[in-house]
Structure 1
């Protein structure tokens, strides 16, 4: 399980978070950056200026900050910011109901990108995943999204042989039938997650509940899956 380093450098953490937001969600103004980080505008401005200096960011004609050359790769769809705004209040409620960390992610090609996390208050917990990228076929939310796609599309996505496409398709059929995907330590030892797709065509999004494997109980899967499905529907409704 990856937790925040004991001697973490806050300014570095802030800069990395801003870089992830620029890459995944698009343009930011200084006021937006300050609000996201919970810092003064002057601090946000200095952080953004350093990202510009190192080519992680640049300014567009409207003086907004956008991803720079270092961060440019296939971008997440523009509606990601709208999805985040709609989802976070529901994730907060889901975290309160489950007492576990919840996440929002989007799937771009074969990657699952974490857009937001709401941490629970338990001492032993899964930390903020915002900005992380995992293979879509391993992450619970990633597989939940892949399960909504046509099988020919999934085969084409994994036609290089690095992933056993037929085994993946069998798993996706099961995911489709049950309405959720389970990631039991596939991506990180000691972490188990349950994910469900958000039923919207605006962006390929999903939500997940992440917990220490020590607290995972198979008998509670129907309960967690039901909460995920209800939360995903409410997010889609608000979009």
Structure 2
């Protein structure tokens, strides 16, 4: 392998270690990093030392965590990202007009990441920080999943194990495929107790000026404060908001 290839592989390994730190809910030991990434422990140790030296990771008595530089870069993303900048005023207006929490998610592999959020006057009953990573196969992730290419979607569904939704319903690859087809036709997804029991949401893809799925916009509420029928009447408003954001990116 040439020098360029070696550098590329080293960079990939560093990203693997950073992902292991991101996924950990508490300080993680070097042995756990090695197991999570598949790297030899000596290789993981060398990479971790570099990350600690640059501020991307830090050490404690209990192991390793992400360092302060990761937070600084996340802050820079929020300030610089065109989608976030375009979405902020639209989310505020949408939240004000509906009285509901409005959010933007973007796709990362087969996950979605929360990048912008405006809380309703009566906020949700669970914490949901910017940067939170969630799967694509439930709730607001489905419109992003629906807009994968046919090849990407086929690859995803071939190995899809199914999932038990918060409602208790079992979502299979067949039922998910049918639902995604409907989302492609309608342009939105109405979800009821999918990720969290007792929540209802509407989500629509934000398309860029080039027609690409840049992200997804959703509004969400608890079903004891907003009925499914009430939320359904908000669908045109959500679609217009998603279109307005897309026109600016």
Deviation at 1:135? 1.4
After superposition, residues 200-239 of structure 1 pair within 5 angstroms as 200=208, 201=211, 204-239=214-249
Q: Please say if 1:173 is aligned against 2:178.
A: no
String of CA shifts for 1:46-71, please: whole Å, max 9, x gaps.
xxx987534514759xxx9448xxxx
Distance 1:80 1:154 in 2: 30
- Aligned to 2:247, the other structure's residue is in SS state helix
TM-score, normalized by length of structure 2? Answer: 0.62
Is this contact kept in 2: 1:106–1:204, CA < 8 A? yes
- Aligned to 2:207, the other structure's residue is in SS state coil
After superposition, residues 61-80 of structure 1 pair within 5 angstroms as 65-66=72-73
Is this contact kept in 1: 2:78–2:115, CA < 8 A? no
Deviation at 1:210? 0.8
Deviation at 1:113? 1.2
Q: Which has the higher contact order (CA 8 A, sep 6+)?
A: 1
Deviation at 1:211? 0.3
Distance 2:128 2:160 in 1: 32
Deviation at 1:187? 0.6
TM-score, normalized by length of structure 1? Answer: 0.64
- Aligned to 1:238, the other structure's residue is in SS state coil
- CA RMSD in angstroms comes to 3.4
After superposition, residues 11-160 of structure 1 pair within 5 angstroms as 52-54=57-59, 56-57=66-67, 65-66=72-73, 81-122=81-122, 128-140=128-140, 142-160=141-159
- Aligned to 2:138, the other structure's residue is in SS state coil
Deviation at 1:93? 0.4
When Rg is computed on C-alpha atoms for both structures, the one with the higher figure is 2
Would the alpha carbon gap of residues 80 and 103 (structure 1) be closer, same or farther in structure 2, given more than 3 Å must change? farther
Deviation at 1:150? 3.0
Is this contact kept in 2: 1:103–1:114, CA < 8 A? yes
Would the alpha carbon gap of residues 212 and 196 (structure 1) be closer, same or farther in structure 2, given more than 3 Å must change? same
Q: Structure 1: where are the runs of 5+ without partners?
A: 1-18, 24-48, 68-76
Find the partner of 2:197 among 189, 194, 197. Answer: 189
Deviation at 1:196? 0.4
Is this contact kept in 2: 1:105–1:205, CA < 8 A? yes
Structure 1's consecutive aligned runs of 4 or more residues displaced over 4 angstroms after TM superposition are 49-52, 64-67, 77-80, 123-129
Distance 2:56 2:123 in 1: 33
Is this contact kept in 2: 1:193–1:208, CA < 8 A? yes
Deviation at 1:178? 2.4
Deviation at 1:217? 2.1
Deviation at 1:79? 11
Q: Structure 2: where are the runs of 5+ without partners?
A: 1-17, 23-53, 60-64, 163-171
